[in-house]
């Protein structure tokens, strides 16, 4: 062997060893170990956060979830106090998300759910009586007591309703928004439904309300909730620069997508009393098919293959 070929062989060997050694190194720096996420108190985000938490912890990360409202979540993304948010409902949160994205104060990772809905709805017996469109509400002010039931104060959807009322759209100038928690609003809807009383309220899918209540989504609210009965895309957002700081964790979130059926199943279990972690674990054990795609090319925090680690954590073969 000539000296030149020997040197070349050593260089190639060193490169191969370097690549092999590098693959066993930490996938993300230690500063990425804790992944700070938020939950506005919505069951769908509780469910998706639970799935993310199971995957993250199997990969050696620690998930920290803060229960805070949507405006505070966006402020947290802007100030680097929250790393990832799985609940950017669009277009409902457009006025909050777009300024941050335009100013590089948050980053869009990807759309994690398509074909969601988010708009006003009424019980089916109210729709049968003639309320099928936003414009039909003002025909029955006394029946509704001029009230529209919303979710937590400060939520973008509530702001849309308040704007609709203040602008006098659909003849609703003198109506009132009744804000409440998600559970408080739904309890009111279920109570009135049981008594066959009239109510109009915020509704969305995925959510167990779609199976627990015989409800009808109202048409005509495109200007305030978007077309196709509030047809919605739910995005995953991160603080600006998270992908650069934590590329391995980001790759997981880039591939983490859900379906309406998946979320609805987990949410039903939560609604029946299971913890979010238990409900998500049960679902993943029964439906492990998406896992390989979620963790493709993702490693554990210490650089080992991700899929075996997740399977081991879930007791899957």
Check which CATH number belongs to the domain holding 151 and give it: 3.40.190.100
**Degrees to nearest 5, angle at CA 88 with 284 and 279:** 20
Mean pLDDT confidence for 46-60: 98
| 148-177 confidence digits (pLDDT tens) | 999 988 888 899 999 999 999 999 999 999
Indicate whether 252 and 268 sit together in one domain: yes
- Does residue 15 belong to any structural domain of this protein? no
User: How many domains is the chain built from?
Assistant: 2
pLDDT confidence of 208, banded at 50, 70, 90? Answer: confident
Are residues 34 and 106 located together in one domain of the fold? yes
Check whether residue 266 and residue 279 sit in a common domain: yes
Q: What mean pLDDT is reported for the chain? A: 91
Between 139 and 16, residue with greater pLDDT: 139
The answer on 203 and 57 residing in a single domain is: no
Q: Is the backbone peptide bond immediately before 91 cis, with ω within 30 degrees of 0?
A: yes
Asked which of 230, 247, 277 is the last residue of a domain, the reply is 230
Of 179, 198, 230, the residue at which a domain comes to its end is 230
More confident residue, 229 or 102: 102
Range name among 107-111, 211-215, 265-269 with the lowest pLDDT average: 211-215
- ∠ CA 78-82-88, nearest 5°, is 75
The answer as to whether 292 is a domain residue is: yes
Helix boundaries (H) for 85-217: 94-102, 124-128, 141-144, 156-166, 182-195, 209-212
* Residue 201 in domain: yes
Specify whether 218 is located in the same domain as 250.
no
pLDDT > 70: what percent of the chain?
A: 92
**282: which 2 tokens?**
């049960």
Q: Average of pLDDT values for 93-97?
A: 92
Same domain, 212 and 179: yes
Structure tokens at 204: 């969305």
How many other C-beta atoms lie within 10 A of the C-beta of residue 251?
21
Decide if 230 contacts 206 (C-beta within 8 A).
Answer: no
In a domain, 20, yes or no: no
pLDDT over threshold 90, residue 254: yes
Phi (first) and psi of residue 35, to 5 degrees: -105, 110
**Which sign does the torsion angle of CA 36, 37, 38, 43 carry?**
negative
DSSP type of residue 60: T
Closest CA to 231 of 67, 116, 87, 148: 116
Nearest to 121, CA basis, from 151, 165, 162 = 151
For residue 259, is it within any domain?
Answer: yes
Give the three-class secondary structure for 149. strand
The span from the first CA to the last CA of the chain, in angstroms, equals 48
**Hunting for tokens 């997508």 — which residue is that?**
257
Token output for 89: 């409902």
Which residue, 206, 230, 254, sits at the end of a domain?
230
Residue 35: strand pairing partners = 63
Task: State pLDDT tens for residues 190-200.
Answer: 999 999 999 99
Residue 208 vs residue 283, higher pLDDT: 283
- Tell me, yes or no, whether 225 and 120 share the same domain: yes
Host domain of residue 294? 29-114+232-314
Same domain, 202 and 254: no
The yes-or-no verdict on residue 230 having pLDDT over 90 is no
pTM given for the model: 0.78
Predicted local distance difference test score (pLDDT) of residue 3: 42
Residue 14 lies in a domain: no
CATH of the domain at 309: 3.40.190.10
Please report which confidence band the pLDDT of residue 25 belongs to, taking 50, 70 and 90 as the band edges: low
Claim to verify: residue 197 and residue 121 sit in the same structural domain: yes
Res 26: pLDDT: 72
226 lies in the same domain as 236: no
pLDDT one-digit tens code per residue, 66-80: 999 999 999 999 999
How far apart CA 120 and CA 126 sit, in angstroms, is 13
Give, for 12, the enclosing helix (H) or strand (E).
helix 3-23
Query: Which of 81-85, 115-119, 195-199 has the weakest average pLDDT?
Result: 115-119
Q: Say whether pLDDT at 227 is over 80.
A: yes
E strands within the chain? 34-39, 62-67, 84-90, 106-123, 147-149, 176-178, 201-205, 215-217, 232-239
Q: Say what the pLDDT of residue 309 is.
A: 98
Which residues touch 167 (CB under 8 Å, ≥6 apart)? none
């Amino acid at each position: 062997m000539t000296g030149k070929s020997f040197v070349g062989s050593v260089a190639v060997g060193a490169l191969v060893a370097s690549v092999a050694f590098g693959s066993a190194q930490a996938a993300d720096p230690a500063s990425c170990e804790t992944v700070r996420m938020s939950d506005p108190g919505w069951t769908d985000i509780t469910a998706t956060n639970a799935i993310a938490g199971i995957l993250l912890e199997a990969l050696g990360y620690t998930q920290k979830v803060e229960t805070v409202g949507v405006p505070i979540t966006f402020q947290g993304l802007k100030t680097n106090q929250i790393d990832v948010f799985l609940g950017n409902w669009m277009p409902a949160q457009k006025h909050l998300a777009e300024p941050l994205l335009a100013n590089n104060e948050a980053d869009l990772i990807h759309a994690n759910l398509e074909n969601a809905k988010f708009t006003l709805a009424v019980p089916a017996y109210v729709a049968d009586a003639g309320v099928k469109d936003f414009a039909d509400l003002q025909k029955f002010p006394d029946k509704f007591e001029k009230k529209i039931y919303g979710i937590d104060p400060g939520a973008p959807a509530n702001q849309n309703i308040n704007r609709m009322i203040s602008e006098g759209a659909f003849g609703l100038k003198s109506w009132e928004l009744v804000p409440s928690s998600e559970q408080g609003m739904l309890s009111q809807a279920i109570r009135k439904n049981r008594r066959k009383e009239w109510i109009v309220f915020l509704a969305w899918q995925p959510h167990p309300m779609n199976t627990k209540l015989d409800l009808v989504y109202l048409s005509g609210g495109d200007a305030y909730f978007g077309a196709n009965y509030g047809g919605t895309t739910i995005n995953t957002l991160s603080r600006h620069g998270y992908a650069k700081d934590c590329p391995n964790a980001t790759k997981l979130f880039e591939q983490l997508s859900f379906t309406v059926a998946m979320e609805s199943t987990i949410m039903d279990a939560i609604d029946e009393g299971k913890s979010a972690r238990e409900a998500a674990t049960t679902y993943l054990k029964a439906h492990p098919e998406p896992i390989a795609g979620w963790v493709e090319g993702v490693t554990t925090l210490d650089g080992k293959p991700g899929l075996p680690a997740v399977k081991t954590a879930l007791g899957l073969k």
